[in-house]
Amino acid sequence: MFHNRGKNGDGSAVPVSSKEKRYTEGFGLPAYLIFIGIMLIVMILCICVGSVNVPLKETIRLIWSAVARQAVSSDMFSSIILAVRVPRVLCVALSGAALSVCGAAMQGLLKNPLADGSTLGVSSGAALGAVLAIALEISIPFLPFASTMLMAMLFAFLSLMLILSLAYRLDFSLATNTIILIGVIFSMFVSSVMSLVIAFSGEHLKSITYWTMGSLAGSNYRNALVLLIALLICGTVIMLHARELNAFAIGEENARHIGVNVKRVKLTIMITVSVLIGVCVSIGGTIAFVGLVTPHMVRMITGPNHKRILPASIFGGATFLMLCDLVARVIINPIELPIGVVTSLIGAVLFVVIFYQSRRKSR
């Protein structure tokens, strides 16, 4: 295992430097409870508040009755809460958690603060697959309800394979800078192809345009279940590589020196991230800045240890995107903004603030 530091010539253990020690400290239970508590409070707030405000007591009663499988009255409040807001808020929370943990993993893997799931071009590839499914009305036999999702996941995976193949052909080592460069170029290419598809989409123009701005309106419990399963599987794989990500954050050469299989870890995390992003894009469209900004904010609280950052990013990303979705629903009520527009506006401002503060500290 790469965390075995070895011994000196006299048999004593090699001392751990203060820099490396920051990456090996754990994450206390009280901090987890604080993150979870804030997330649950925001979740209840998002369920209560909207175009029609529902009293907190009534909201909790309806949710508890549904969970306990008790009889629920078919009044207006129950329809709003159980049929519309609860599945939507669940999908928003799960999407935010997934995008955030993907961003945290990519920033650690590529040792680049500007990295997130879209850095690889995977988000763009997934979006292209979904746009083609909508524009061409592609229907997969036996799974017509999942055509857009499967197309998004397929194109996300194919995009990743193409990018990694090109990167390997260029330097035969899957160097971080090469992957980022090809990912940016690929994203530009896909953006032009999407514009071409949208130009000839005809009657599907409005739905495609709204979808590309990101929206989780109309989400249902089936979408939430798919997101939950994807997050449980892919999130577990990512968090099992927290130690390797700590090694990558110190440097790839250091990771190799202490026994990390660099190529295998890179491929595993990149494939996992591409699958998770493909699922999120297929359900909610293109939602920017969540995976870029949230890990930065979490890192300011937890420190650089990925054993802290990854689980905290899940709760932080869910909270951030739920608040953005709440703003999108109520800021110009009754008109609803696409959530991607809100995350871009808020995320851009937050990123500038975070970048400015980090530069001040470095000076």
| Domain CATH number, residue 169 | 1.10.3470.10
Q: Is 105 inside any structural domain?
A: yes
Q: Does some domain include residue 16?
A: no
DSSP string for 131-191 = HHHHHTT---TT-GGGHHHHHHHHHHHHHHHHHHHHHHHHHSS--HHHHHHHHHHHHHHHH
pLDDT tens readout for residues 337-352: 889 899 988 888 887 8
How many structural domains comprise the chain? 1
The band of 142, judged by pLDDT with boundaries at 50, 70 and 90, is: low
| Position 289 in a domain | yes
3-state secondary structure of 7: strand
| Domain presence at residue 39 | yes
How many Å from the N-terminal Cα to the C-terminal Cα in the chain?
Answer: 37
Domain that holds residue 156: 28-362
Does a structural domain hold residue 321?
Answer: yes
Tokens, residue 4: 């075995």
Does residue 17 form part of some domain? no
User: Could you tell me the pLDDT band of residue 40, with boundaries at 50, 70 and 90?
Assistant: very high
Residue 240 · residue 137 · CB < 8 Å? no
Q: Any idea which residue has 């979408």 for tokens?
A: 223
Q: Is the pLDDT of residue 296 over 50?
A: yes
Shortest CA distance to 309 belongs to which of 252, 256, 245?
245
Q: Which residues, 6 or more positions from 38, have their beta carbon under 8 angstroms from its beta carbon?
A: 315, 319
pLDDT for the residue numbered 144: 59
In this prediction, residues 187-212 reach a mean pLDDT of 85
Q: Is residue 111 part of a domain?
A: yes
For the residues of 298-363, what is the DSSP string, one character each? HHHHH-S-HHHHHHHHHHHHHHHHHHHHHHHHHTBTTB---HHHHHHHHHHHHHHHHHHHHHHHH-
Nearest Cα neighbor of 261 from 343, 202, 174, 359 is: 174
* pTM beyond 0.75, yes or no: yes
The answer to the question of residue 11 being in a domain is: no
Element (H, E) at 6: none
Higher confidence at residue 169 or residue 232?
A: 232
